[in-house]
């Protein structure tokens, strides 16, 4: 039995989004291929198949569908399919204008038609063989029809303008792809490593854990590591959108993709390239651009019926106008042919996926990783955001304020030791604060058990220990406004550690900014009422839920969704994974967030700055506006020219503009998403 393999390959010379859709649909009908996705914006094709020599198989299949499009392991330089034919065709037309002999002149014009229409004709026939009617077929019919209704030169000019438009479209698509690729260019191909007192250059993929990397000024760090020699400033803009350099020195951990701004530093690799930060970001972006939004899917479905519908209407125009008006068939056929030129849905088919891809690219540059165009589309619809308190509203960097003993049998060191030995086994973020406060000798404990969101129990020297919340340890005294970890021995609370958590400096501003955008803000916390309400008041959040377990957060999110709200949850802990998954848009913290939270979320904030949420929403709104502008422009111009052609006002020249010209305008308009001031 053959194993189903995952493939991701480059698809070359694909400059038509409608053609990409047709190829994708046809390949998905093949029983040997599964889950075929063509990412037009990135020129990639991904699929599952048991076939070993997949590139040869795909190239044979695609050759029957679309002329000149190929699949390869690595990207090949795109070559224009039209340029040589265009030059020869124009030369023949110029010669025909000089020669006076009618017979020779006619032969030259026919040859010019053949040369100029060759590529388009081949593409049209291949599409028809697959029972697909596309723009190439309609252009061929229009130009040949123009020849027979004695509009020979106009037919030639239509194919010339169409060909020039296709060449410009190729350039525009390539330029937009290049701009987006440069925007997300964080990959590090090669690195210098120290080996036997020599410095050698190797591919980043071959770096092993423990290798010593030498990073010079201006170079990118290839893999995640720790500085073992030197100090410098790092540019992290490509990772999290922050323009302020980060000062680092010996002993500091550094992330792949960072740029060294000063002297030479040496870094010990802590991860291989495939596990490093930059590799994960690239993978997230690539996966994101393969996921299509509902609007993108709807446009694709609409495009399939648009062309045949216009073709049928053109037949009706050509046959009915002479019956209901005094037009001749020659005139009505010309108007019908003009109809055909307009019928390509390229402007619509190309601008929508390109806009989503641009939005995802722009977001990633701002330090906001969005996992798919469907998520990008949903961001703008959010009307309710629920923030987890610790690690999102607050820094999550708890500090030990004091250690208190409530029993003379145990001093402060004892209290800390017994709590420390419980927190070693905890996944709660607060545990790290205790472990970082000071190193404590590990004791041999038995029967350890963790109760999620409550605490830990264990046995030591035949006594039962409880470490956790006031309720869990059954402490009866009134608490103040900070966070506490209590220690109970044999059901008697003998002491506690008081902790303080800092609120992020910009939280209040971003909360007020989101409120101004008519977004309801909630804060969820596992902390007691006093602590939660104190934090919420400081950051202007009115809706506070406290003493919540993961299941409580889950139930609350579902309750809000039942009110027909579009709900986003923002969290960073392993216990937030369930809630991130169930919310409409789950947002996790990429810097201090757990792997489970990042995996479960739809959006990752790379530097944990919640102001980036507003930035992501703004990019989502801008993307939607530009998509709508492109759709309205395309529909309006096409409908206008179609209507005018019926009345004989517009000619094939205007029809070419309604097709190719509008496509170019849509592409250029889409590139506006990539512009704008960075935060």
Residue at token pair 């990783």: 369
**SS3 per residue for 414-442:** HHHHHHHHHHCCCCCHHHHHHHHHCCCCC
- What is the distance between the alpha carbons of residues 232 and 247, in angstroms, rounded to a whole number? 6
DSSP 8-state assignment for residue 454: T
Q: Are 363 and 619 in contact (CB under 8 A)?
A: yes
CB 675 within 8 A of CB 607: no
C-alpha closest to that of 673 among 353, 342, 207: 353
> Contact 457/465 with Cβ under 8 angstroms?
yes
Compute how many other C-beta atoms are within 10 angstroms of the C-beta atom of residue 613.
25
Cα distances (Å, whole numbers) of residue 505 to 430, 434, 520? 20, 24, 21
Cα angle 212, 218, 222; round to 5: 40
Asked whether 124 and 134 are in contact (CB, 8 A), the reply is yes
- Closest Cα to residue 184, out of 294, 46, 288? 288
DSSP label at 658?
A: I
Can you tell me the distance from the alpha carbon of 221 to that of 305, in angstroms, rounded to the nearest whole number? 50
- List strands edge to edge, sheet with 253-254: 198-203, 190-195, 212-215, 265-269, 225-229, 253-254
Q: Find out whether 21 and 292 touch, Cβ atoms under 8 Å.
A: no
Tokens (6 digits) for 276:
């490093």
What amino acid positions are annotated as catalytic residues?
388
Residue burial 134-161, b: 16+ Cβ < 10 Å; e: rest: bbbbbbbbbbebbbebebbebbbbbbbb
Residue 608 · residue 591 · CB < 8 Å:
yes
Q: For tokens 């703004």, name the residue.
A: 618
Nearest to 176 by CA among 654, 656, 630: 630
Which residues fall within 8 angstroms of residue 419, CB to CB, at 6 or more apart? Answer: 434, 467, 485, 487, 497
**Alpha carbon distances (Å) from 194 to 215, 272, 369:** 10, 16, 33
Name beta bridge partners: 500: 399
């Amino acid at each position: 039995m053959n194993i189903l393999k995952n493939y991701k390959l480059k698809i070359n010379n694909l400059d038509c989004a409608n053609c990409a859709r047709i190829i994708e649909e046809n390949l998905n009908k093949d029983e040997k291929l599964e889950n075929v996705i063509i990412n037009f914006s990135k020129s990639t094709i991904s699929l599952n198949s048991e076939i070993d020599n997949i590139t040869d198989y795909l190239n044979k299949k695609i050759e029957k569908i679309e002329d000149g499009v190929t699949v390869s392991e690595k990207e090949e330089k795109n070559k224009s399919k039209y340029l040589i034919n265009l030059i020869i065709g124009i030369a023949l037309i110029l010669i025909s204008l000089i020669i006076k002999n009618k017979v020779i002149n006619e032969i030259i014009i026919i040859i010019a038609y053949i040369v100029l229409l060759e590529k388009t004709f081949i593409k049209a026939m291949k599409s028809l063989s697959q029972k697909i009617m596309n723009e190439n077929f309609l252009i061929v019919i229009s130009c040949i029809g123009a020849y027979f209704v004695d509009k020979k030169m106009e037919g030639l000019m239509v194919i010339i303008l169409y060909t020039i438009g296709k060449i410009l479209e190729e350039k525009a698509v390539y330029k937009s792809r290049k701009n987006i690729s440069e925007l997300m260019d964080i990959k590090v191909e090669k690195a210098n490593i120290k080996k036997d007192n020599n410095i050698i250059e190797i591919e980043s993929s071959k770096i092993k854990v423990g290798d010593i990397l030498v990073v010079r000024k201006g170079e990118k760090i290839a893999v995640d590591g720790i500085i073992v020699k030197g100090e410098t400033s790092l540019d992290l803009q490509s990772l999290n959108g922050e323009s302020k350099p980060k000062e680092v020195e010996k002993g500091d951990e550094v992330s792949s993709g960072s740029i060294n701004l000063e002297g030479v530093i040496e870094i010990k690799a802590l991860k291989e390239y495939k596990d490093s930060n930059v590799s994960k970001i690239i993978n997230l972006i690539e996966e994101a651009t393969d996921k299509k939004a509902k609007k993108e899917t709807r446009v694709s479905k609409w495009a399939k019926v648009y062309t045949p519908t216009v073709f049928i209407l053109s037949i009706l125009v050509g046959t009915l106008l002479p019956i209901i008006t005094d037009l001749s068939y020659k005139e009505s056929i010309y108007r019908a042919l003009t109809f055909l030129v307009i019928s390509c849905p390229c402007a619509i088919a190309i601008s929508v996926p390109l806009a989503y891809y641009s939005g995802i690219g722009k977001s990633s540059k701002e330090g906001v990783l969005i996992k798919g165009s469907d998520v990008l589309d949903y961001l703008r619809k959010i009307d309710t955001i629920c923030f987890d308190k610790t690690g999102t509203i607050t820094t999550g960097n708890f500090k030990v304020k004091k250690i208190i003993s409530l029993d003379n049998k145990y001093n402060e060191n004892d209290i800390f030791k017994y709590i420390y030995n419980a927190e070693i086994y905890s996944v709660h973020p607060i545990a790290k604060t205790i472990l970082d406060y000071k190193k404590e000798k590990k004791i041999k404990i038995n029967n350890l058990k963790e109760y999620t969101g409550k605490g830990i129990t264990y046995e030591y020297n035949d006594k039962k220990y409880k470490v956790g919340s006031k309720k869990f340890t059954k402490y009866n005294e009134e608490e103040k406004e900070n966070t506490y970890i209590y220690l109970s021995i044999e059901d008697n609370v003998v002491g506690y550690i008081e902790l303080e958590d800092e609120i992020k400096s910009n939280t209040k501003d971003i909360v007020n900014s989101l409120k101004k955008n008519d977004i309801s803000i909630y804060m969820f916390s596992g902390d007691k009422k006093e602590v939660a309400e104190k934090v919420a008041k400081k950051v202007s959040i009115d809706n506070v839920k406290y003493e919540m377990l993961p299941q409580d957060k889950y139930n609350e999110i579902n309750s809000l969704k039942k009110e027909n709200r579009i709900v986003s949850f923002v969290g960073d802990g392993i216990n937030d994974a369930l809630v991130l998954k169930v919310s409409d848009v789950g947002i996790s913290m990429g810097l201090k967030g757990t792997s489970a939270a990042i995996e479960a979320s739809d959006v990752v904030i790379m530097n944990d700055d919640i102001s980036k949420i507003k930035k992501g929403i703004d990019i989502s709104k801008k993307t939607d506006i530009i998509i709508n502008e492109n759709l309205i422009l395309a529909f309006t111009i096409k409908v206008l020219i179609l209507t005018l052609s019926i009345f004989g006002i517009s000619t094939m020249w205007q029809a070419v503009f309604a097709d190719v010209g509008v496509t170019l305008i849509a592409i250029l308009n889409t590139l506006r998403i990539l512009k704008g001031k960075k935060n």
